[in-house]
Structure 1
């Protein structure tokens, strides 16, 4: 089956995947920005900062690869993308009522838009190509 061209991709799926890309970019910025505190920190704090950066970069890699898989029309990317959105949704909902309401509302809305964009029937049909991820032999 040929790869989906951008013209045949549903608009909702395209919007969802652009938002996933923004989330991946945000994870990378958090990881790299956090590494800026390594030089002035104590050794135990340095280990914590580097570990957190590695985890964030790994998460960015996983979510980014899943988004790329969906962009190519492969259904295996749905699981990681939806799981990440559900985690963000849970964190956002748990922070409701805080002083900075926008810091919880934006992730909630973004997660709901992505979930809807990936799961609508037209998006599911566009990403119905089976198979394993390219990284799996």
Structure 2
């Protein structure tokens, strides 16, 4: 049985998922730093900061699972990843007057690049697998 679908994921999808892993790495570093501050007593918002850090780690787990799902041609992974990119983009735009310009540029360009990589036609075709027809009884 042959198929017209490629055996390897398209390059835009691979690049988008690599960028997602970069985001996950940054978020894990932030969460670990927050937990270190809580455990060392260097922060005044101990329980709140700890809960926020654990929430960030949960988001990281979801992003990794969603990225893996897309590599396995499961289209449900696209939803959480695009949603996260929209949240990162909104954060970058809302903080444009507060944080340095290069960080704003990073928080705008990165999610746009990831979203484009996830939504170009080859990436969408990769994840949209169809089940073989079943016999009607």
2:17 is aligned to 17
- Give 5+ residue unaligned stretches, structure 1: 1-5, 132-137
Shift of 1:129: 3.0
Give the equivalent residue in structure 2 for 1:56. 56
Alpha-carbon spacing, 1:83–1:99, altered in 2? closer, same or farther (3 Å): closer
Matches within 5 A, 1:72-91: 72-91=72-91
Pairing of 1:24-35 with structure 2 (within 5 A): 24-35=24-35
Runs of 4+, deviation exceeding 4 Å? none
Structure 2 alignment gaps of length 5 or more: 1-5, 132-137
- What are the residue-to-residue correspondences of 1:1-137 with 2, within 5 Å? 8-38=8-38, 39-41=40-42, 45-98=45-98, 100-129=100-129
CA shift, 1:12, in A, is: 0.7
Q: Tell me the distance in 2 between the aligned counterparts of 1:7 and 1:16.
A: 18
> CA RMSD of the aligned region, Å?
2.0
Q: If you compute each CA radius of gyration, which structure gives the higher value, 1 or 2?
A: 2
Corresponding residue SS for 1:37: helix
Residues in 1 aligned to 2:117 and 2:99: alpha-carbon distance in whole angstroms: 30
How far apart are 1:93 and its partner, in Å? 1.1
Q: Determine helix, strand or coil for the equivalent of 2:8.
A: coil
Matched residue SS, 1:36:
helix
What TM-score comes out, normalization by structure 2 length? 0.83
SS at match of 1:73: coil
> When the two structures are superposed, what TM-score results if normalisation uses the length of structure 1?
0.83
Distance (whole Å) between structure 1 residues aligned to residue 20 and residue 119 of structure 2? 14
Partner Cα distance (2:129, 2:97) in 1? 42
